[in-house]
Amino acid sequence: MKILIVEDEKKLSGFMEKGLKQAGYLTVICHDGSTALQKAAEEDFDLILLDLMLPGLNGFEVLKNLRAFNILSPVIIVSALSDTKRVVEGLDLGAVDYIKKPFEWEELLARIRTIQRIASKTNSNKITVDDLQIDIASRKVTRGTKEIALTSKEFTLLHYLARHANQVISKNQLLENAWEISFDPESNIVEVYMHQLRKKIDKGFDTPLIKTIIGAGYMLKGNKTTTP
């Protein structure tokens, strides 16, 4: 699960990032509303933790723009503004939950787990591209009758390509959505992992599914279906 933390208090955002990483989540931090909106438009986030009192665009304005741009990542507001009017306004603008500062850490984690459970019921559990099947819940991958063993990172890459099957995915998109640390633009880490993934997914099959689009990126190409 990849979480965007939008919090201008750097000490608090650092505390949240550390705790979320320890709980097994990927995190990205933004300290102002405008940057947060840009990040949410550029990357896929499973959850946004949003403060309201932000420099630039405030949290309410960020919420309005997220929905206007059809960015559907669930949002939990985390704010010291705790009066009923603000809570109602935030929920009416599309937030799925509202946590008042100061908050108990275990409560925040419990609210996040609730969002995960809801998402697991509404999202597809299996993605099929031609004869390649990805079971998201069990992390099992098969092609035809062959079960394919993938590392955690290889599975993350394949899952992202499958979610965006038949779309060109750039190297930067893969870096942003499969890794949470920055790499030198000249790094060949994506190429290395994609080479390994291609060997596992395509080797021994008549039709290769992973395509390299020269100068643009990669594509998982085939007839895509999803099932609950």
**Which pLDDT tens digit goes with each residue over 49-69?**
999 999 989 999 999 999 888
What ranges in the chain are assigned the alpha helix state H?
A: 10-22, 33-42, 59-68, 84-92, 105-122, 152-163, 171-178, 189-202
pTM of model > 0.85: no
Write down the CATH number for the domain with range 2-122: 3.40.50.2300
- Do 2-122 and 126-227 share a fold? no
CB neighbours of residue 159 within 10 Å = 18
Write down the CATH number for the domain with range 126-227: 1.10.10.10
Q: Cα separation of 14 and 17, whole Å?
A: 5
Contact in structure between 26 and 156 (CB atoms under 8 Å): no
**Which pLDDT tens digit goes with each residue over 6-55?**
999 999 999 999 999 998 888 999 999 999 999 998 888 889 999 999 99
Instruction: Return the domain boundaries, the chain.
Output: 2-122, 126-227
